[in-house]
Every structure is written in structure tokens, then in C-alpha cells.
Structure 1
Amino acid sequence: MSNIRITKQFSFETGHALYGYDGKCRNVHGHSYKLSVTVSGKPITDNTNVKFGMVIDFGDLKKIVKQEIVDLFDHATVFNKNTPHVELAKELIDRGHHVLLVDYQPTSEMMVIDFAKKIKARLPKNIKLHAIKLQETDTSFAEWYASEN
């Protein structure tokens, strides 16, 4: 049976700031992120299986990505916890805002690395994460490929 790639797309709104950056993105701002997750595997050949013919049920992939990424990052503000932004984060948390503190600079590049690790840990053994694309704007995105990692 052939290996097949399937892709599920997601969207979420997230704010962030890049501590120490020398451009506009040092300021707190937000993006309407578009996330594409591509996995690969062989379609199920057991015709008694309710998932017959599928690599993975799109609903199962959706559940993993929503739990690990979308539900956490949507309408959150993300800061690197190893910078003075933790003071701003504390203030926002005290005011009831949804803040995520991560151990990396919250760029699209670092976010796809984080996302890949989280998704890979949740996929069934017979399904491989092939690629992730995180689109920050209409013209800017970061991509992660298993073949390069």
C-alpha cells in the first residue's frame, strides 16, 4: 500500500512580543495564524475497521492539534519566560488575561519547532509527522519538515 500524506488546517489568534528584537515586533502585537499540519502513513486496509481507507481520521488529527496547540494559543499572549517580559505577563495574568510563558523566543520559527514536538508525541505509532506550516501573515510563514530534522 502507498504512503499518503494528509493535511489539516487550523487558525487561531495569538499575541506576542519579541524581547530584545530591534524592530516593530518588540512591541506587543497579534497575528491571525494559519497552521497546516501534514502527516503521512498507509491507509487502513482492514475493511472491518470503521476507519477503513483512512491514514488517520481528520477528526482524530484535529483533536490532537486542538488540544496541544490551538486551544492553548488561541487568544493568548505569548512571552519568553526567560526575559523581563515575565513582569508584563504577571500584570496581564493578574488582570485576567490568558498568557503563555514559553522557554523560547515566540517567533514563528521557534513555534513550529515546539508544535512539531507536541504533535509528534501524540500521533499513533504508524503515523509520521511530515510537515508543519505556520503562516503569520499573508506573506510570511515558517515551515518544519521531518526530512530535515
Structure 2
Amino acid sequence: MVYLTRLEHFNAAHKLYNPNWTPEKNEAMFGKCANENWHGHNYDLFVTIKGQVNEDTGFLFDVKKLSELIKVHVLEKLDHKNLNIDVDFMRGKMCSTENLAKAIWEQLAPHLPEEVKLHCIKLYETARIYVEYFGE
């Protein structure tokens, strides 16, 4: 089994806010992340796929094709967007990094060819905070 990782980058705004809670409870739970005027992150997205190396090409999968799949199914929907408002697959969900990583998996996995499998979505919200999701 070989693992291949592609790093991509996007910028997005969001806020953490539970509409069933009072503004005070949201602020107590989420602090500045509940700011009514939103806040943004410069996300780093690591997409790891796994499978067997093709003997004819020496590749697990063409990285240009992987990049294009990520661009079409993820980045074009997220980059320079408001996650709470602009992103259809985040509507009705708390826009946490954990939920975003899971949603990215759901957007990307169905579009990979059957010879490779999505192994991990690693999403850095900041240089010191990241989430890993393995589809479980």
C-alpha cells in the first residue's frame, strides 16, 4: 500500500454560533469565534489517498488529476467564501474545522477512481490547530 498526499490552500470566513443559544452562551462557549462580523482562516488542506502503484506509470494516481478533483469539488466551493452562508454542503452545520474536514471528505471521496481510496483529510485551521479525518 502506498500513500500519496497533496497539499492545497484556501481562505475562508466563518463564525461559530449555535442559533439555539443566547448570544451570551455562544460567547461563553466560542469566544471571539462567535463574532457577529465573522473571522477568517488561511486553511491548509492535506488530502491523502492510498492504493497500489500502477506498474505501467509508476504512479499511485496522477497528481495533476488529484489536484483538479480537489479544485473542482472542494476549493472552488470554499476559497474566499463564507462557510456559514456561501457553502451549500456546510448549511445547517456548525462550521467547525472538525465538521469541515468531514464535509470535505464527503465532497471528494465519491469522485476518486476505484483504484484509489481516500485515506485522510488533514485540515490546518492555524499553524497550531489541525484536524485529521479518516472517514470513520
Secondary structure in 2 aligned to 1:114?
A: helix
Q: Deviations over 1:54-95 (max 9, x none)?
A: 11100111011111111110000111xxxxxxxxx5xxxxxx
Secondary structure in 2 aligned to 1:38?
A: strand
RMSD: 1.2
Equivalent residue number for residue 24 of structure 1: 32
CA distance in 2, matches of 1:26, 1:16: 9
Ranges in structure 2 where 5+ consecutive residues have no aligned partner: 19-25
1:1-149 matches, cutoff 5 A:
3-20=1-18, 21=26, 22=29, 23-27=31-35, 28-45=38-55, 47=56, 52-79=57-84, 89=85, 99-101=86-88, 102-146=91-135, 149=136
CA distance in 1, matches of 2:112, 2:87: 24
Identity %: 29
Counterpart amino acid of residue 54 in structure 2 = I
Q: Matched residue pairs, number?
A: 122
Q: TM-score w.r.t. structure 2 length?
A: 0.85
Bigger-Rg structure (1/2): 1
Equivalent residue number for residue 92 of structure 1: none
Runs of 4+ deviating beyond 3 Å: none
Q: TM-score w.r.t. structure 1 length?
A: 0.78
Q: Deviations over 1:114-142 (max 9, x none)?
A: 11111110000110111110000010011
Secondary structure in 1 aligned to 2:74?
A: helix
CA distance in 1, matches of 2:117, 2:103: 16
CA distance in 2, matches of 1:100, 1:63: 19
Ranges in structure 1 where 5+ consecutive residues have no aligned partner: 80-88, 90-98
The structure showing larger relative contact order (alpha-carbon pairs under 8 Å, at least 6 residues apart) is 2
Counterpart amino acid of residue 15 in structure 1 = A
Secondary structure in 2 aligned to 1:19?
A: coil
Q: Deviations over 1:95-121 (max 9, x none)?
A: xxxx22523111100011111111110
